[in-house]
C-alpha cells in the first residue's frame, strides 16, 4: 500500500516523479509543516503560500536528500528557509516598527494567558514579520545570532537588536491583551514571567 | 507557574497541532510540478507594452505630421479669383509673376528678393495690374515696414468702385499696429478678398477667423487656388524670456526588486503604475538662437506604485505614495523650422536635463491602514528627456504639449536597521504627458 510507504519509498517515488508518491508525501507532512508555516507567517494566506513554495522546492530537490537526517527534519528545514526567503522578499517594502511609544514594561510582571492555540497564533500574527522571523529562528530553531545573520542577510548586531525588540514587543502585546481582556488572566491558571 | 518567555513561546509553537492546509495548495503544487503553470502575463509587461505603444504612436504622429506649409520651404503660389465685379485683392504673395484669366487679378512684384526673409526690414515695391470686367486697376507701390512681409495690394482705379483713399489701407497697415481693423473695414467696402494668408500680414494678432469672414461669398464658388499659409519670420534681435505654468500627467513606476519579481510569469505579485499629476512654474531664457535654458519649479510631484499580491485566493493591496517638490533644469533645443498647425505656428522642442526633488511626504497604504514609512531618502535626482510641441496662439502666448521620460539616479531607499539600502535599490521612473501655457515677455523669434 502506498499509504503505508516508508520515507525511503516515498522519496524514491518522488525522485521518479510519480504523482501518487508526491501526493502521499505531501499529505503525510503538510499538516505539520503548515503549522510551522503558521508560526512563521502569522497569517493563514501567507502560510499557505509559504507551504506551497516549500513543497515545490521539496519535490524539485528531493533527489538531493541523502537520508542523513529524518525526512521530516529535512522538509522542515526547507520550510524554514522558505520563510526566510519570503521575509527577505517581503521586507523590501517593510517598515520598521517604531517602538518609541511602547510601554515601559516591568520585566518582573507576571502574566497569565490562555493556552489555546488560536491565542498563540494571534499573538504570533501580531509580531512584525522581521521580529517574528528572528524570534523564531532564535527561540524555535535554536540558531545563534551569527547563524541568523548569515541566513537572513543581516548583521549580527541587527539580529540581536531585532530579538530584543521582538521580545519587548511581545511583552507589550501580552500586557495589552491581558489589560483589555481580564478574563484571560484567569483562564487556565497558567502564568509566566516576562524575562 | 513561572516560566521564561522564550520557553513559553517555544512550547506554544511546538504545541501547535497539525493543521490541514487549504486544498488548493496541493493543486497549485501539482500544477507547478507539471510545469504547466497558468500562463500569466505580468501587469508590468502589459503596462510597459501599452506605454511604449502610446509613446511610439504619439511620437510617430508628431514626427510625421505633414504641415501645409513650412516657412523655410514656402513657395509662392498663384492666386486667381473670378468675380463679376471689380475686386480688390490684398495678397501676401511671393515675388513671381502671376498671370491668370481675364477675370482674374494679375499681380507681380518688382522686388525679386525673398519677402519672407527673416532678417532686415523688408521694403517691397509692388506693382499690381488687375483687370476685371473692364475695370482697370491702378498701380501702386507699397512700402512695407519691418516685421511685415511684402504685401501686394491692388485697388480699383474706378472711382465708382474705389474707396475713399486707395492708399489708406496700405498706410494703415504700415503705421497702425492694429491694422487688421482698418483692413477689415476696407475689405467690407471694397469686397476685398482676404485669403487666409492675408492675416499673416498682421503680426500682432491671430488671424484665422478674420480671414474666413472676409472672403467674398461670391468668390468662394469660383475656382481659386489659395496660397499657402505663410508665417512671416520676425526680425527679433533680442533673446526671449518666457514664463508659464506646466502640468504633467505621470505614469509612475518604482524600480525595485518587487518590480523585477513581478516580471516573472510565475510571480504572485503584480505591480501597477501610479498615475499622478505634477504642477510646475516654468521660466526660460534663450541664450543662442534656438538654444534655451529652461527652469521649472516643481510645486508638487508624486511618485509611487501599486502592489497587488495574490495569496491563497486573496488579493492584498499596497500603495506607495511619495510626494516631492523641487526643480528641474533643462536644455531646450528648438527646431529652427517652424511648421503650420491649422494656421498657427508650431515649433518643436527637444529637452534634456536633470531634476532635483525633495521628499516632502511618504505614505504607504496597506489595505485600509496608512503608515508613513521612514525608509526613503529625502533627495532624489532624476534625468529628464523629452520632446515638446509648442503652438503660438498669439505672438506671445503659446501652448505646449509633449512627452517626457524621467529616470531617477538616486537609490531612494535608504534602508532600515535590518534592511540595508543596497538590499532593495529603488529608483523612480515615469513617463509623462506634459501640457504648458507660456507667455513671452518679449516677442520671440517665431
User: pLDDT tens across B213-232, in order?
Assistant: 333 434 333 344 444 444 44
Q: Which long-range contacts (CB under 8 A, 24 or more apart) does B259-268 make?
A: B259/B44, B259/B305, B261/A89, B262/B42, B262/B43, B262/B44, B263/B42, B263/B44, B263/B45, B264/B42, B265/B37, B265/B39, B265/B40, B265/B41, B265/B42, B266/B32, B266/B37, B266/B40, B267/B42, B268/A49, B268/B309, B268/B310, B268/B311
Which of A187-191, B126-130, B284-288 has the highest average model confidence (pLDDT)?
Answer: B284-288
Using the beta-carbon criterion (under 8 Å), do B8 and A56 form an inter-chain contact?
A: no
Phi, psi (deg, nearest 5) at residue B133: 50, 55
Question: Distance from A109 to chain B by nearest Cα, in Å?
Answer: 11
Q: For residue A144, how far is the Cα from the chain centroid?
A: 16
B8 to A80, A143, B4, B134: CA distances (angstroms): 20, 17, 6, 117
Whole-number pLDDT of residue A124: 77
Q: Do B13 and A59 touch (CB under 8 A)?
A: no
Where does the pLDDT of residue A100 fall: very low under 50, low under 70, confident under 90, or very high at 90 and above? very low
Rounded to whole angstroms, the Cα distance separating B96 from B194 reads 19
Among A179-193, B115-129, B341-355, B392-406, the minimum mean pLDDT is found in: B115-129
Nearest residue on chain A to B10, judged by CA atoms? A140
Bigger pLDDT: B150 vs A25: A25
Coil, helix or strand at residue B356: strand
- Are β-strands B105-109 and B89-91 bridged in parallel, bridged antiparallel, or unpaired? unpaired
Q: What mean pLDDT is predicted for residues A32-45?
A: 83
Q: Which residue has the higher pLDDT, A81 or B163?
A: A81
pLDDT at position B129, please?
38
What is the length of chain A?
A: 195
- From residue B59, give the alpha-carbon distance in Å to each of B44, B56, B383: 22, 5, 20
Contact assignment for B318 to A193 by CB distance below 8 Å: no
Q: H or E segment at B263?
A: none
Q: What is the pTM of this model?
A: 0.39
Counting beta carbons within 10 angstroms of the beta carbon of residue A193, is it exposed (0 to 12), middle (13 to 18) or buried (19 or more)? middle
Q: What is the model's pLDDT at position B405?
A: 92
Statement: residue B110 has pLDDT above 80: no
Q: Among A14-28, A128-142, A162-176, B106-120, whose mean pLDDT is lowest? A: B106-120
Give the pLDDT mean for B287-306.
88
Q: Is the pLDDT assigned to residue A141 strictly greater than 80?
A: yes
Q: What per-residue confidence (pLDDT) applies to B159?
A: 44
Residue B96 pairs in a beta bridge with none
Question: Out of A13-17, A18-22, A106-110, B299-303, which region has the weakest mean confidence (pLDDT)?
Answer: A106-110
Q: Say how many CB pairs under 8 Å bridge A and B.
A: 147
pLDDT of residue B233: 44
Residue B312, pLDDT score:
53
Cβ atoms B196, B207 nearer than 8 A: yes
pLDDT at site B86: 43
| pLDDT value for B126 | 37
Whole-angstrom CA distances from A84 to A46, A48, B100, B170, B265 are 13, 15, 89, 87, 22
The distance of B13 to chain A (nearest Cα, Å) reads 7
Question: How high is the mean pLDDT of chain B?
Answer: 66
User: Is the pLDDT higher at B184 or at B394?
Assistant: B394
Which of B37-51, B79-93, B336-350 is predicted most confidently?
Answer: B336-350
Nearest CA in chain B to A120: B12
pLDDT at B42: 64
**What pLDDT score does B300 carry?**
86
B234-261 as b/e: b if 16+ CB within 10 A: bebeeebebebebebebbbbbbbbbbeb
Lowest pLDDT segment from A116-130, A176-190, B33-47, B161-175: B161-175
Band (B168; pLDDT cuts 50, 70, 90): very low
Query: Are residues B320 and A93, on separate chains, in Cβ contact within 8 Å?
Result: yes
Counted residue by residue, chain B has a size of 446
In angstroms, the separation between the Cα of residue A117 and the nearest Cα of chain B is 6
Please determine, for residue B414, whether its predicted confidence score (pLDDT) is greater than 70.
yes
Nearest to A45 among B2, B4, B311 (CB): B311
A window 101-160, beta carbon within 8 A of B: 110, 115, 117, 120-121, 123-124, 130, 135-136, 139-140, 153-154, 158
Per-residue pLDDT at B296: 92
Residue B239 has pLDDT above 80, yes or no: no
* CA–CA gap between residue B227 and residue B195 (Å, rounded): 8
- Quick: pLDDT tens for B177-217: 444 444 444 344 444 444 433 333 434 433 333 333 333 43
Q: Which three cell numbers stand for residue A55?
A: 513543497
Coil, strand or helix: which one is A133?
Answer: helix
Banded pLDDT at A178 (limits 50, 70, 90)? low
Residue A26 pLDDT: 93
3-state secondary structure of B19: coil
pLDDT over 80 (residue A134)? yes
Task: Give the pLDDT score at B285.
Answer: 87
Three-state DSSP class for residue B257: helix
- Residue A177: its pLDDT value, please? 67
The beta-carbon neighbor of B2 closest among A31, A154, A192 is A192
- pLDDT single digits (tens) B47-105: 778 878 887 887 777 766 655 544 444 444 433 334 444 444 444 444 444 444 434 33
pLDDT exceeds 90 at position B257: no
Range A85-92 average pLDDT: 71
Q: Do A120 and B12 touch (CB under 8 A)?
A: yes
pLDDT at A91 over 70: no
> Among A89-103, A179-193, B136-150, B323-337, where is mean pLDDT lowest?
B136-150
What interface predicted TM-score (ipTM) does this complex get? 0.79
pLDDT in the model for residue A30: 93
Residues from chain A that touch B15, judged by Cβ atoms under 8 A, are 117, 120
Amino acid at each position: 500500500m502506498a499509504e503505508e510507504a516508508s520515507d525511503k519509498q516515498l522519496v524514491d517515488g518522488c525522485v521518479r516523479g510519480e504523482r501518487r508518491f508526491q501526493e502521499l508525501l505531501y499529505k503525510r507532512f503538510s499538516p505539520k509543516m503548515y503549522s510551522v508555516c503558521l508560526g512563521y507567517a502569522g497569517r493563514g494566506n501567507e502560510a499557505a503560500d509559504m507551504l506551497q513554495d516549500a513543497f515545490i522546492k521539496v519535490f524539485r530537490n528531493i533527489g538531493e536528500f541523502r537520508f542523513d537526517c529524518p525526512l521530516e527534519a529535512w522538509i522542515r528545514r526547507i520550510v524554514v528557509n522558505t520563510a526566510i526567503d519570503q521575509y527577505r522578499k517581503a521586507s523590501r517594502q517593510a517598515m520598521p516598527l517604531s517602538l518609541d511609544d511602547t510601554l515601559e514594561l516591568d520585566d518582573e510582571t507576571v502574566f497569565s494567558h490562555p493556552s489555546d492555540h488560536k491565542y498563540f497564533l494571534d499573538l504570533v500574527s501580531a509580531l512584525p514579520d522581521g521580529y517574528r522571523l528572528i524570534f523564531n529562528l532564535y527561540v524555535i530553531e535554536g540558531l545563534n545570532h551569527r547563524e541568523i545573520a548569515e541566513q537572513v542577510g543581516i548583521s549580527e548586531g541587527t539580529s540581536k537588536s531585532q530579538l530584543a525588540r521582538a521580545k519587548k514587543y511581545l511583552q507589550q502585546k501580552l500586557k495589552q491583551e491581558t489589560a483589555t481582556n481580564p478574563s484571560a488572566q484567569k483562564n487556565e491558571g497558567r502564568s509566566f514571567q516576562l524575562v | 507557574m513561572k516560566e521564561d518567555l522564550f520557553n513559553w513561546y517555544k512550547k506554544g509553537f511546538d504545541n501547535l497541532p497539525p493543521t490541514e492546509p487549504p486544498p488548493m495548495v496541493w493543486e497549485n503544487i501539482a500544477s507547478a510540478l507539471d510545469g504547466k503553470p497558468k500562463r500569466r502575463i505580468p501587469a508590468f509587461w502589459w503596462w510597459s507594452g501599452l506605454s511604449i505603444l502610446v509613446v511610439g504612436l504619439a511620437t510617430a504622429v508628431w514626427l510625421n505630421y505633414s504641415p501645409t506649409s513650412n516657412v523655410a520651404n514656402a513657395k509662392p503660389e498663384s492666386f486667381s479669383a473670378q468675380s463679376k465685379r471689380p475686386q480688390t485683392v490684398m495678397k501676401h504673395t511671393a515675388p513671381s509673376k502671376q498671370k491668370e484669366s481675364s477675370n482674374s487679378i494679375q499681380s507681380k512684384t518688382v522686388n525679386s528678393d525673398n519677402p519672407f526673409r527673416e532678417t532686415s526690414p523688408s521694403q517691397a515695391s509692388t506693382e499690381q495690374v488687375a483687370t476685371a470686367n473692364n475695370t482697370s486697376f491702378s498701380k501702386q507701390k507699397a512700402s512695407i515696414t519691418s516685421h511685415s512681409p511684402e504685401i501686394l495690394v491692388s485697388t480699383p482705379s474706378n472711382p465708382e468702385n474705389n474707396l475713399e483713399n486707395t492708399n489708406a489701407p496700405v498706410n494703415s497697415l504700415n503705421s497702425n499696429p492694429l491694422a487688421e481693423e482698418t483692413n477689415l473695414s476696407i475689405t467690407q467696402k471694397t469686397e476685398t478678398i482676404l485669403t487666409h494668408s492675408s492675416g499673416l500680414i498682421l503680426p500682432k494678432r491671430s488671424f484665422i477667423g478674420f480671414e474666413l469672414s472676409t472672403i467674398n461669398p461670391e468668390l468662394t464658388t469660383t475656382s481659386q487656388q489659395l496660397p499657402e499659409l505663410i508665417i512671416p519670420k520676425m526680425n527679433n534681435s533680442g533673446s526671449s524670456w518666457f514664463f508659464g505654468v506646466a502640468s504633467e500627467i505621470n505614469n509612475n513606476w518604482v524600480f525595485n526588486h518587487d518590480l523585477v519579481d513581478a516580471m516573472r510569469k510565475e510571480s504572485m505579485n503584480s505591480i501597477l503604475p501610479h498615475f499622478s499629476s505634477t504642477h510646475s512654474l516654468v521660466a526660460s531664457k534663450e541664450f543662442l538662437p534656438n538654444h534655451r535654458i529652461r527652469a521649472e519649479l516643481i510645486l508638487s510631484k508624486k511618485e509611487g506604485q501599486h502592489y497587488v499580491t495574490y495569496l491563497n485566493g486573496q488579493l492584498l493591496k499596497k500603495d506607495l505614495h511619495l510626494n516631492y517638490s523641487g526643480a528641474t533644469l533643462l536644455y531646450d533645443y528648438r527646431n529652427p523650422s517652424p511648421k503650420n498647425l491649422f494656421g498657427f505656428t508650431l515649433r518643436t522642442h527637444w529637452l534634456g536635463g536633470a531634476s532635483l526633488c525633495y521628499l516632502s511626504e511618504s505614505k504607504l497604504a496597506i489595505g485600509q491602514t496608512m503608515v508613513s514609512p521612514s525608509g526613503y531618502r529625502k533627495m532624489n535626482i532624476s534625468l529628464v528627456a523629452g520632446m515638446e510641441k509648442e503652438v503660438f496662439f498669439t505672438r506671445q502666448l503659446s501652448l505646449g504639449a509633449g512627452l517626457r521620460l524621467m529616470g531617477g539616479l538616486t537609490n531612494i531607499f535608504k534602508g532600515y536597521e535590518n534592511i540595508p539600502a543596497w538590499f532593495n535599490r529603488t529608483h523612480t521612473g515615469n513617463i509623462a504627458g506634459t501640457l504648458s501655457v507660456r507667455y513671452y515677455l518679449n516677442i520671440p523669434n517665431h
